[in-house]
Amino acid sequence: MRVISGSVGGRSLTVPKKVRPTTDRVRESVFNILASRFSLTDIDVLDLFAGTGALGIEALSRGVHSAVFVEANPDAQKIIRANLKTTKLLHRGRILRAYALKGIGILEGQGLRFGGVFLDPPYEEGWVDKTLRRLARSSILRTGAWVVVEHARHEAGAESYGPLVLTDSRRYGTTGVSFYLHEGWETE
């Protein structure tokens, strides 16, 4: 696996055996879609269920300001840290050791706000719906923030979760990718 594009494009990333990373093809498609709709520069992103950190690292390579990687598995955290060091992006990334839902609460408590979220939970365990519901109630998303959800083909979320509205969905073999937009309710 490698970083597809940007300042560290082409650099290889370490992938442990027990992690299902987002494939290069899916990552490239996701970032092409995001780049056609949003500016990726100077926003902060959240990588939930971060695994190898590939999605957040790709975003950093393409110009986002910073990324927070939420991952509960200590071995995966070591891989994320190694991948950030290899790409020389460690100074722009932060690893939070927590399960996704608890991590959202911790970040709320710290007053952090994000312009984008990558959500890549284990397939077919109910995390897509639970996490989108939690994000919709959270104060960590800015109005206009996007949420990209990778899921099993038949495990897509609902059309909306309060201010989070489904704007697009794609299929790549057995993988589905859904794009949500946070439409609302805040004063900045």
What end-to-end distance do the CA atoms of the chain give, in Å? Answer: 38
Q: Which residues contact 91 (CB under 8 A, 6 or more apart)?
A: none
Q: Using CA atoms, how far apart are residues 174 and 3, in angstroms rounded to an integer?
A: 22
Q: Using CA atoms, how far apart are residues 117 and 38, in angstroms rounded to an integer?
A: 13
Q: Using CA atoms, how far apart are residues 127 and 18, in angstroms rounded to an integer?
A: 18
Residue 188, in any domain of the structure: no
Residue span of the structural domain in which 144 resides: 24-182
DSSP 22: P
Residue 17, in any domain of the structure: no
CATH of the domain at 178: 3.40.50.150
Residue 166, in any domain of the structure: yes
Residue 152, in any domain of the structure: yes
Q: How much is the pLDDT for 11?
A: 84
**The model's pTM:** 0.91
Mean pLDDT (whole number) for 15-37 = 84
How do residues 127-176 score in pLDDT, each as one tens digit?
999 999 999 999 999 999 999 999 999 888 899 999 999 999 999 999 99
Residue 31, in any domain of the structure: yes
Residue 9, in any domain of the structure: no
Q: What SS3 class is residue 172? A: strand
Residue 65, in any domain of the structure: yes
CB atoms inside a 10 Å sphere around CB 18: 9
Phi, psi of 2, rounded to the nearest 5 degrees: -145, 165
How do residues 88-141 score in pLDDT, each as one tens digit?
999 999 999 999 999 999 999 999 999 999 999 998 899 999 999 999 999 999
The total domain count for the chain is: 1
Residue 2, in any domain of the structure: no
